[in-house]
Structure 1
Amino acid sequence: MSSGNNGDNDVIRAAGCVLWRRSPYDDGLEVCLVHRPKYDDWSHPKGKLKRREDALAGALREVEEETGFRCAPGARLPTAHYVANGRPKQVEYWAAEATDGTFRPNREVDRIAWLSPTAARHRLTQPRDKTLVDALLSALHLT
């Protein structure tokens, strides 16, 4: 939430989820990563919040827009803070279990991958995203 001081106007607010499911093959945990052709990177589904949008609502909206999946939000995960295009960015994350949906390639995301936590850590482009996989496992009491 914004604290109301003038500096908050400069912060890019975003939200996303570490989307997970039980594998349809072996019941193991799978994490969904998205590939963004604009950046040629692999990340967790996330995006900028709309004006006055609640962070969790924005995270769920972004997951559905980028992956085609609806999800049930769970534990709050660590917030990422970094600089993007010279501006501070804050991304709030939640663990979220995929409930139903179907992926269709779109302008922002051309493919998704459901991977084991270890494979997801290796595929993620940014180191800060790798730590979110560990936070998910901790939140699900799997560490």
Structure 2
Amino acid sequence: MRAAGCVLWRRAPDSDGPQIALVHRPKYGDWSLPKGKLKRGEGFREAAVRETLEETGMACVPGPRLPSVHYVVDGRPKEVRYWAAEAIGGNFIPNREVDRVVWLPPAAARNCLTQNRDRALVDALLDALGGAGETL
């Protein structure tokens, strides 16, 4: 199974540091990074941008490639390729797949993410942004 997503970030309006978007999926009751399966003939990066827009309502500019995540779903291997992506505008509208989006500073995002495998992607984003940590 092939999927792609983004660690979507924006400059915090009230501080110097970045905020990271997390999505809540009611079907799984979890907090995760926006991601989804590739459509037929679609590239990973294209899918990452599309899925991020679909799940968060935010258009984004993809930046550096981040580490891929591998795990098993229903006995099948799944690969999710991620990109750092800066949000450039949009509006979230709740839907069946994603009912909430939150913007959190990196430390809070790490703590909120349901899956441990997603937490390392927060650190990878900060490294990609130049190691700026909480003060981009």
The answer to whether the superposition gives a TM-score over 0.5 is yes
| Equivalence for 1:39 | 28
Matched, 1:109 2:98: yes
Distance 1:44 1:112 in 2: 10
Distance 2:32 2:41 in 1: 25
| Equivalence for 1:72 | 61
| Equivalence for 1:121 | 110
Query: 1:100 offset after TM fit, Å?
Result: 0.5
Normalising by structure 2, what TM-score? 0.95
Matches within 5 A, 1:84-103: 84-103=73-92
Distance 1:27 1:96 in 2: 18
Distance 2:46 2:11 in 1: 23
Distance 2:16 2:97 in 1: 29
- Coordinate RMSD, CA, aligned: 0.7
Q: What amino acid sits opposite 2:105 in the alignment?
A: S
| Equivalence for 2:51 | 62
Identity %: 65
Distance 1:36 1:86 in 2: 21
Q: Give 4+ residue runs of structure 1 displaced > 2 Å after superposition.
A: none
Deviations 1:95-129 (A, max 9, x none): 00000000110110000110000000000000000
Count of matched residue pairs = 132
Q: Which runs of 5+ in 2 are unaligned?
A: none
Report which of the two structures shows the higher radius of gyration computed on alpha carbons.
Answer: 1
| Equivalence for 2:127 | 138
Normalising by structure 1, what TM-score? 0.90
